[in-house]
Amino acid sequence: MGADPRRYGRIRAVRVPAVLGTLALLLAGCASIPDSGDVEPVKASPPGESQVRVYAVPPRDKAEPDEIVDGFLEAMTSDDPDFAMARKYLTKRAAGWWQPEAGTTVLRVAPVPASPKDPSGADEPGLTYPLYGDRIADVDSSHAYEPDEPSAYNQSIRLVQQNAPSGGKEWRIDSLPQGLVLGESDFQRNYRSVNKYYFASGENWLVADPVYIRQRIDPTTRMDPVTQAVKVLLDGPTNWLEPVVDSPFPTGTALQKGTRSLEFDDRNALKVPLNGNAAKAGHAQCRKMAAQVLFTLRDLTSTPVGQVELLAGGSSLCVLGGAQAEEFAPDRISGRADNPYFIDDRGRLSLLSGGNGETVDRTRVIGPFGTGATKLGSVAVSRDEKHAAGISEGGEALFVSSILSNGELEGALVTSAGARPADRLSAPSWDGRGDLWVADRDPAKPRLLRFEDGAGTPRKVTVEGLDGARIEALRVSADGVRIALLLSKDGRTTLQIGRVERGASAAGPTVSVTELHAAAPQMETVTAVSWAGPSRLVVVGKEARGVQQVRYIQTDGSTSAASVLPGLNQVTAIAAAEDDRQPLVADSGEAGIVRLPTGANWQTMVEAGSSPVYPG
């Protein structure tokens, strides 16, 4: 994406040739450095402008109170070191108290100051400017993003007069909200989402933990994005994920003091200097540490990371290459098929294959599910593609069968007594451990069930925080520690992400789902969901008074303007592969089973069928 050299914020902005950039800085509270174009006024940050730079300048002599407020709000959107220019709008007391790194409040649009309140009768002289906006998310000091349904933001900025160095009085801000307050477009321009990685508790595979770091140099730490990513990894997992993951880094491990920049060499290899605490790690432990760094940095490089070398006290601890790190990958199943499955118009499980050409092959799977003897309504294929789980056409029963060999269909693993198909069994889902999950939607006996290794007696899974909602659909992540749930309550279906916690009791292993959090609070209803990578979902739903959308959403609930996909009507099911190079596949009532290849529009694969799925 090329830079759009426009100025941001409430102060009038211009697009001017680069030779006028310095003049523009002198004329306005903040400005971007342009390189071409005509004069163009703007009043807010257009979405998706991550390459535009905003530069802050100090307040002019004897600036009016409105200018002080506007200039400070603008300065918060810049990359100014330690927000030094923003602090010039504050009194000495406020400048020492204000901590921009304490967190970020994200509003739908940039905060709007109202007219100052009448100071008459106040105990202290000054002006108070109310700040209004629609709050949509918060980013805490650990860089974790937490979305919320839009709610009123009501804070204020208070100005007082102080002695000016040149004599007389000047207005400065003496009271303000802690942290940063940014409009959504300014937030997206300044920050980017990065997955940091930790190991599933007691396991040998990695789990993605999305956080936000600065797009460029961090104003507070002065670290470049690569160094920021390593630092937040070493800081430990976010509070929500921490109970189900481990980090092999020895306690107290941090970057070597003074490290602000980490650079790849011409072989795309990186050396990471750590403090002396890291030297406590053995070789096998160090390899896992290096794998965490390597996977974390994959989001930041346009070419694959060649290798990572960890150092402590100047000495090499271990070296791990990109190919070697694959043994720790979040999706560990090798040999995944490139093609999705679906249920054909006769209720049989079939494989869909086809490259970029127009011809699509439909091949029924081997075994009972391919014969049509038991018509299927929904299906899930195990991640090793040896078995499939099928729900009977009416939703009453769950079966599991081989899709590699013929044989008789064994008895149902579980049945539902719901009166209607919508009140019976949901579509099933396999996790990366080989366990099978399904929800019984019977209003008289709603329950979430898990079958260890896809067989045996169903084990009920406790779900905390349902608050009377019913599970309509579910998808378990490849790492097995997160579950996406569609919950219905009061006529609305929402998307919630839960943490899968595993424990032990006298009766045996226990599994529960805890700390549900909304992943798409901006959507009034969600129709379908699928995992689309380590920390991303593809969701079908609509906002209040809106039309149906297909879009990508991070598991932390964050989105971007680019996440909305080409329109498609009457979508009832969506499927994505772990490999993002594979096309999305959907069930659209008007177009049949369709796919979305990269850079193209939706294409019909088969005109009649349902339940498209990738393994999982």
For the chain, domains (ranges, CATH) are 18-187 (no CATH), 190-328 (no CATH), 342-613 (2.120.10.30)
CA-CA-CA-CA dihedral for 553, 554, 559, 561, to nearest 10: -70
- pLDDT at position 338, please? 66
The closest of 514, 540, 516 to 527, measured between CA atoms, is 540
Low-confidence ranges of the chain (pLDDT < 70): 1-51, 118-124, 332-338, 354-359, 561-562
- pLDDT at position 10, please? 39
The token duo for 113 is: 């100051």
Q: With contact defined as beta carbons under 8 Å apart, do 129 and 121 qualify?
A: no
- pLDDT at position 358, please? 59
Neighbours of 48 (CB within 10 A): 15
- pLDDT at position 354, please? 65
- pLDDT at position 444, please? 95
Pairing verdict, β 376-381 and 361-364 = unpaired
Q: With contact defined as beta carbons under 8 Å apart, do 72 and 86 qualify?
A: yes
- pLDDT at position 304, please? 86
CA-CA-CA-CA dihedral for 206, 209, 211, 216, to nearest 10: 10
- pLDDT at position 589, please? 82
What lies within 8 Å, CB to CB, of 82 at 6+ separation is: 219, 220
Tell me how far CA of residue 594 lies from CA of 227, 348, 572, 604, 605, in angstroms: 42, 18, 12, 4, 5
The closest of 516, 525, 454 to 484, measured between CA atoms, is 516
Q: With contact defined as beta carbons under 8 Å apart, do 212 and 259 qualify?
A: no
- pLDDT at position 284, please? 97
Q: With contact defined as beta carbons under 8 Å apart, do 290 and 320 qualify?
A: yes
- pLDDT at position 347, please? 95
